[in-house]
Amino acid sequence: MSKLFSPIKLGQVTLDNRIVIAPMCQYSANNGNATDWHMIHLGQMALSGAGLLIIEATAVEPIGRITHGCLGLWSDENEAALKPVMAAIRKYSSMPVMIQLAHAGRKASSARPWEGGQLIAIKDGGWQVEGPSAVAHGSSESDPLAMDAAALARVKQAFVDAALRSVRLGFDGIELHGAHGYLLHQFLSPVSNKRTDEYGGSAENRMRYPLEVFEAVRKAVPQTTLGIRISGTDWVDDGQPMQANIDFGNKLKALGCDFIHVSTGGVAAAQQIPVGPKFQVPFATQIKQGTGLPTIAVGLITDPKEAEQIIADGEADMVGLARGMLYDPRWPWHAAAELGASVDAAPQYWRSQPRGLSTLFRDTKFGGR
């Protein structure tokens, strides 16, 4: 029996298999509101046969967006725009769906990737960004405002409010974004956190604010599956050490964290990333071994046999695909075919089952002529 296609439980949610569709920013929202693009994009992902869909980084306040086109969940209008998307998914797919709640911090107010991705100045239509310290991400960028007590309280409440909206919308779980150089990661890393108060300095102080945010969200939605995404390394010598990440994970576990999603990088402009197959998996393995929490590994995982081996060898509990799913939205079907497993598929697609793969789709009882 395939390990990749075995079930796993995350908090209150059971996944049919260990394939996770990782959050993929689409930069296609209108003032934070989901559009027809999200209906089309998320609809096809929900019909892919994966075990879990986590929708893109969703800003908890307007200045927390990476770009003007980022999805948001700070207003009634944002919530109303996501409602029909979720309703359509629920009508045609039984796949669990979670949402990633995020704040971009000093990396906000940026152009879309296909427009260059650089910081947009206020005079050019951008906005004033904030961060743990007045330290810009890039040498040519203006410094963010260092967050004061009022800003810290405001953003923490914004995460709570967005989490409550997520529950009302019927999401099966929430992932907080603490990776890729965005706000919670900016507090964790000594690269971006130069504070001298209780939120800066030692690793214990640097993790204080992300832990406060997590705890506040957990208290607000005690029955909801709740996890976090972190960067396992900053890919610079003076970045966040692995032991600090493990300590952070154990503190999260004590607060009721249900899973950790491990990728790398994003906080240091000087990062040097040795990209290659499975290049991020060892970091997920260390987090898994150090915390005992269910762990999602990502990073150029494209081959089904490789994904199977990651699970079988205990390197991670789940594998996440993002770009791979954009390239091949039926990747779970193809993986199941290669590994001798089966997946759920909408009955409208049952007749696509290739000859010789009669057990690929579950419950394919249909007639017709």
Distance CA 54, CA 319 (A): 13
* Token pair recorded at residue 227: 């996890």
Question: pLDDT of 292-308, one tens digit each?
Answer: 999 999 999 999 999 99
Are the C-beta atoms of residues 260 and 283 closer than 8 Å to each other?
Answer: no
Question: pLDDT of 188-235, one tens digit each?
Answer: 999 999 999 999 999 999 999 999 999 999 999 999 999 999 999 999
pLDDT classification of 140: cutoffs 50, 70, 90: confident
| pLDDT at residue number 64 | 98
| Backbone Cα Rg of the chain | 20
Closest Cα to residue 131, out of 207, 61, 192, 188?
192
Closest Cα to residue 135, out of 179, 67, 177, 193?
193
pLDDT classification of 361: cutoffs 50, 70, 90: very high
Residue 366 has pLDDT above 70, yes or no: no
Amino acid at 123: K
Distance CA 207, CA 194 (A): 13
pLDDT classification of 362: cutoffs 50, 70, 90: confident
| pLDDT at residue number 155 | 98
Q: Which domains, and CATH codes, for the chain?
A: 8-352 (3.20.20.70)
Distance CA 228, CA 193 (A): 19
Question: pLDDT of 59-105, one tens digit each?
Answer: 999 999 999 999 999 999 999 999 999 999 999 999 999 999 999 99
| pLDDT at residue number 355 | 84
Question: Does residue 349 carry a catalytic annotation?
Answer: no
Half-sphere exposure of 148 (CA within 13 A, CB side): 1
Question: pLDDT of 46-60, one tens digit each?
Answer: 999 999 999 999 999
Neighbour-count burial for 338-365, b at 16+ CB within 10 Å, e otherwise: ebebbbbbeeeebeebeeeeeebbeeee
Amino acid at 337: A
Distance CA 356, CA 361 (A): 12
Say which residues have a Cβ less than 8 Å from residue 304's Cβ, sequence separation at least 6. 4, 334, 335, 338, 339
Q: Which of 27, 92, 182, 209 is catalytic?
A: 182
| pLDDT at residue number 354 | 87
Residue 348 has pLDDT above 80, yes or no: yes
* Token pair recorded at residue 215: 């705890």
pLDDT classification of 364: cutoffs 50, 70, 90: low
* Token pair recorded at residue 139: 């040498």
Mean predicted lDDT score pLDDT of the chain = 96
Residue 325 backbone dihedrals phi, psi, to 5 degrees: -75, -30
E strands of 31-166, at which residues?
Answer: 52-59, 97-102, 130-131, 145-146
What average pLDDT does this structure show over 316-344?
97
What average pLDDT does this structure show over 169-182?
98
Q: pTM value?
A: 0.96
What average pLDDT does this structure show over 4-31?
98
